[in-house]
């Protein structure tokens, strides 16, 4: 979904820079050069957010800010200076942020904020505090930045929320609470989730010099002293969400094949071994297929490696569609594997045969050179709970498929 942004700026060069930044992030952009144009555009369109200049020809006292706020448009204020009068005026309104114009860093920061807003809609934050008024205040700050919000009045309620909503990303917790306090909650969360999976921000109104260290030593990522400044709150929260996102990106890159975007061999082994432990415990048979493109070397030799890459990428798309709930990976070269977790033996064989036939009939659509190719498939079904042994069994079946004419499931 493309979001629409309103840029309110009377200096054309600055407006062009802001427009370029917003379009780079992915927004559809409208520009207003006055308060009158701002009101007219707001009457015609729904805006995801706005970037508003504090001083305009017909709004010298920042009148455009309450205009966008009144229209429920999350607003970033940009201003040439931030003297006490301007700051006091700006902080009267529930804006997202204010940015001082004038240097490259300001526009880099604007780009980060415009990127974060759509992302925040998918980030779940759990607020844990026994004070309803404190929870309400923190939730109001989170709402401005479009976070999804959950609440709990103590540590025990928080753990129940985490159990029912495991994709919570950030927990903001007070220290002093009945039933279970913030320090104990940190310990319990870290017993289940690592720092890479969930970020914890401790908060407290207690004036103790070592409280921040106590939170950090017990698993928190960050700490804020109440009452905290909203700017600092947003900066610390954004940095922690950014950290989780960067770690997730690194993990994804480490576990993903660069060409096909399928899981790679390393990830396949880790996840398959986890499932095999469960299968062994349940005394259930394991099932794995190895799939190989027939005569792939000839494809590369005849059409070139770029065409071969097109074939592999097109095949990967089909894997995702046919084996959506199974563990699929590119093991290397033209060799792929499917580890079955939810199907019966007959269902798995039927799915593999259907996939083989689909590739035979439609493979020419994967590449500009319309290269036709087929697959040979080896399938293993046994009470084997070592991934190396299971792959060896499937590989022997794959070899039989190749030796007996290719383009078949054995």
**Options 9, 37, 310, 334, the catalytic residue:** 334
3-class state of residue 203 by DSSP: strand
Average pLDDT, the chain: 94
Looking at residue 81, its pLDDT comes to 78
Low-confidence ranges of the chain (pLDDT < 70): none
For residue 228, give the DSSP letter.
Answer: P
pTM of the model: 0.78
Active site includes 334? yes
Query: What pLDDT, in 10s, does the model give residues 218-258?
Result: 999 999 998 888 889 999 999 999 999 999 999 989 999 99
d(CA 8, CA 63): 12
Looking at residue 37, its pLDDT comes to 97
Query: What pLDDT, in 10s, does the model give residues 146-198?
Result: 999 999 999 999 999 999 999 999 999 999 999 999 999 999 999 999 999 99
Beta strands in 280-322 (DSSP E): 286-293
The full set of domains in the chain, from first to last, is 4-118 (3.40.50.2300), 121-254 (3.40.50.2300), 265-403 (3.30.70.270)
Q: Is the peptide bond before 227 cis (omega within 30 degrees of 0)?
A: yes
Looking at residue 231, its pLDDT comes to 87
């Amino acid at each position: 979904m493309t979001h629409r942004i309103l840029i309110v700026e009377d200096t054309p060069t600055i407006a062009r820079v802001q427009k370029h930044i917003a379009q780079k992030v992915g927004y559809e952009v409208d520009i207003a050069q006055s308060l009158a144009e701002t009101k007219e555009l707001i009457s015609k369109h729904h805006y995801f957010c706005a970037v508003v200049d504090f001083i305009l020809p017909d709004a010298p006292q920042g009148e455009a800010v309450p205009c966008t706020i009144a229209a429920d448009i999350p607003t970033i204020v940009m201003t040439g200076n931030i003297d006490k009068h301007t700051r006091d005026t700006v902080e009267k309104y529930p804006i997202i942020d204010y940015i001082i114009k004038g240097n490259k860093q300001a526009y880099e920061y604007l780009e980060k904020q415009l990127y974060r807003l759509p992302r925040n809609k998918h980030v779940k934050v759990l607020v844990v505090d026994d004070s309803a008024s404190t929870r309400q205040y923190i939730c109001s700050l989170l709402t401005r930045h479009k976070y999804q919000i959950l609440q709990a009045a103590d540590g025990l309620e928080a753990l129940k929320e985490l159990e029912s909503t495991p994709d919570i990303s950030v927990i903001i917790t007070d220290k002093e609470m009945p039933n279970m306090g913030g320090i104990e909650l940190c310990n319990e969360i870290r017993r289940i989730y690592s720092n890479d999976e969930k970020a914890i921000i401790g908060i407290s109104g207690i004036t103790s010099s070592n409280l921040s260290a106590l939170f950090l030593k017990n698993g928190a990522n960050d700490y804020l002293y109440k009452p905290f400044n909203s700017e600092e709150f947003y900066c610390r929260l954004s940095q922690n969400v950014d950290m989780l996102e960067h770690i997730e990106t690194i993990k994804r890159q480490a576990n993903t094949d660069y060409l096909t975007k399928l899981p790679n061999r390393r990830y396949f082994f880790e996840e398959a071994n986890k499932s095999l432990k469960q299968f062994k415990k349940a005394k259930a048979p394991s099932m794995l297929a190895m799939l190989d493109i027939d005569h792939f070397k000839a494809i590369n030799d005849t059409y070139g490696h770029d065409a071969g890459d097109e074939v592999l990428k097109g095949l990967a798309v089909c894997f995702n569609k046919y084996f959506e709930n199974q563990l699929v990976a590119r093991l290397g070269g033209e060799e792929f594997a499917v580890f079955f977790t939810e199907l019966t033996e007959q269902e798995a064989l039927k799915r593999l045969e259907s996939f083989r036939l689909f590739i035979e009939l439609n493979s020419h659509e994967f590449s500009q050179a319309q290269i036709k190719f087929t697959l040979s498939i080896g399938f293993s079904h046994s009470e084997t709970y070592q991934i190396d042994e299971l792959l060896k069994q499937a590989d022997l079946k794959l070899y039989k498929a190749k030796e007996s004419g290719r383009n078949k499931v054995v």
